[in-house]
Structure 1
Amino acid sequence: MTMKLENARPRASLDRNGWVEAAIDMLAEQGVQGMRVEVLAKNFGVTKGSFYWHFKDRQDLFTAVLETWRDGRIRDIHKQSVSTPGREHEQLLHLIDVYGATRNRRGISIELAVREWARRDAQAAAVVEEVDGWRLECTRKLFVARGVPDDEAKSRSLLLYAYVFGQSLMACDSYDPGISDFKHWIAELIVKP
């Protein structure tokens, strides 16, 4: 399946951010090997010269894609983990709901593609490690604010993310008619006092 960017609204001028967003779309669909300058230029109906106006080389695009992904994930987890004092329990449940949801297929595809890329590339691995560190630290702080000792808070943060990412990849909705009750029970178990 090939992404058709030409169906998108024509752009008067393609800026650096447009190239990065197109590359992220291609990453979600085809992985890092799909982020080829020739393919992106063809999909946009522009020459490779347009690309080189905005980027030094393909590695420069890769760096921009990783930075964009990283910054978006960090901004998102920071926003999602802000809690009113005394409401940390509800915020943790909210995080499990948001990050465990399978409704954002594009986001899941991008997450998987970046993680696959990180298996083979040191720069991508460092970015993934940084994002995971932010995610774990933000939830650790929520657990600590609830009075959970630091070591246990770290363990629960790891458990929370292992659960949300694992179950978001599973197609288990038909497993049992009470699957939403199971998910709620598991979430409560993870965040319990």
Structure 2
Amino acid sequence: MSTQSPQKKSGWRGSEELWLNAAYDLLIEKGVDAVKVQPLAQNLGLSRTSFYGHFDSREALLEALVGRWRDKNTGNLIRQTQAYAETITEAVLNIFDCWLRPDLFDARLDHAIRNWALGDPALRAILEHTDSDRIDAIAAMFERFGHAPHDARIRAFTIYYTQVGYVSMMVQEDTQVRVDRMPTYIEVFTGKPPSESEVERFRARHLPRPAVRHGKQG
């Protein structure tokens, strides 16, 4: 019986997800100019023709990368602005989940897209529209909690541009340090401190619980 893996069987062309993941890795590590069919094929150990079984062109692959970014980062951010919350401070903590969970918001991908857009006017237009959608969602969240439209938009700008700064500067901050600072950020952004219970629930979502030590039994 053959022990050859499915990936190595004759005629295997990979999958669309495999090619897209490989393109993502190159985009993150080296930028969009490195995302080309031949290097991808070499990295995957597949032929160039295998690529065209999944994408019509390099441009189609790049469009899929942009689609992944919009679906994940923008989609999740907007959903977090609409998540259940009893107070505006709890609502902003829901947004902060994005900054601490790469499965909700991929900061490296956001950074790569912003760098790519510097040399691509079409993508720059998409980025500007996407930023506007994100800010609109945050502003709408503040309005739901009674903030006037102008005030809501200024607060949305403050939250969003702060995070864009984190992304653009590629700030590396220990999770414990960032979580400890977030209650103060909440007060700056909303004008109100979060309650102790809100902070504790947020901390429980993002910081590991200390191990329970059992004493020796006599």
What TM-score range do you get, normalising by the shorter chain?
0.7 to 0.9
Q: Is the 8 A contact 1:89 1:191 kept in 2?
A: yes
What is aligned with 2:196? Answer: none
The size of the alignment, in residue pairs, is: 180
Q: Which amino acid aligns with 2:40?
A: L
Matched residue type, 1:73 = N
1:73 corresponds to 2:73: yes
Q: Aligned partner of 1:53: which letter?
A: G
Q: Distance in 2 between matches of 1:183 and 1:74?
A: 21
In structure 1, the residue matched to 2:155 is: 156
Task: Provide the rounded CA distance (Å) in 2 between the counterparts of 1:91 and 1:77.
Answer: 12
CA deviation after TM superposition for structure 1 residue 161, in Å? 1.0
C-alpha separation between the residues in 1 aligned to 2:14 and 2:180? 47
More moved, 81-90 vs 157-166: 81-90
What corresponds to 1:23 in structure 2?
23
Q: Which runs of 4+ in 1 moved over 6 A?
A: none
- Further displaced range: 80-89 or 66-75: 80-89
- Indicate whether 1:41 and 2:41 are aligned: yes
Q: 1:170 matched to which residue of 2? A: 171
CA contact (8 A) 2:7 2:14 kept: no
The code of the aligned residue for 1:121 comes to D
The CA deviation string for residues 31-70 of structure 1, in whole angstroms up to 9 with x for no partner, is: 1022111111111111000112222221111111111211
The CA distance in 2 between the partners of 1:180 and 1:98, in whole Å, is 10
Determine the C-alpha separation between the residues in 1 that align with 2:177 and 2:46: 51
CA distance in 2, matches of 1:27, 1:57: 17
Identity of aligned residues (%): 26
Task: Give the CA deviation at 1:123.
Answer: 2.6
Could you say what secondary structure the match of 1:93 adopts? Answer: helix
Query: 1:100 Cα deviation (Å)?
Result: 3.5
| Whole-angstrom CA distance in 2 between matches of 1:29 and 1:130 | 25
1:4 — aligned with what? none
Contact 1:22 1:40 in 2 (8 A): yes
Q: What's the counterpart of residue 141 of structure 2?
A: 142
1:53 aligns with 2:58: no
Deviation digits for residues 112-144 of structure 1 (CA, Å, limit 9, x no counterpart): 111000111123213322321221111111110
Corresponding residue of 1:3: none
**Contact in 2 for aligned 1:99/1:165 (Cα 8 Å):** no
SS of residue in 2 equivalent to 1:54: coil
Give the C-alpha shift of residue 192 in structure 1: 2.4
Query: For the structure 1 residues 181 and 47, does the alpha-carbon distance in structure 2 shift closer, same or farther, using more than 3 Å as the test?
Result: closer
Q: Which amino acid is 1:55 matched to?
A: F
TM-superposed CA distance for 1:107, in Å, is 2.2
Cα 1:71–1:178 change in 2 (3 A) is closer
What is the identity, as a one-letter code, of the residue corresponding to 1:51? F
Give the structure 2 partner of residue 129 of structure 1: 128
> Residue 108 of structure 2 aligns to which amino acid in structure 1?
S
> Residue type of the partner of 2:23?
A
Which of the pair has more CA radius of gyration?
2
Normalised to the residue count of structure 2, the TM-score between the two structures is 0.71
**Whole-Å separation in 2 of the counterparts to 1:75 and 1:179:** 24
In 2, Cα distance between equivalents of 1:126 and 1:146:
31
Counterpart-to-counterpart distance in 2, 1:60 and 1:100: 29
Alignment-derived partner of residue 184 in structure 2: 185
Q: Normalised by the size of structure 1, how large is the TM-score?
A: 0.79
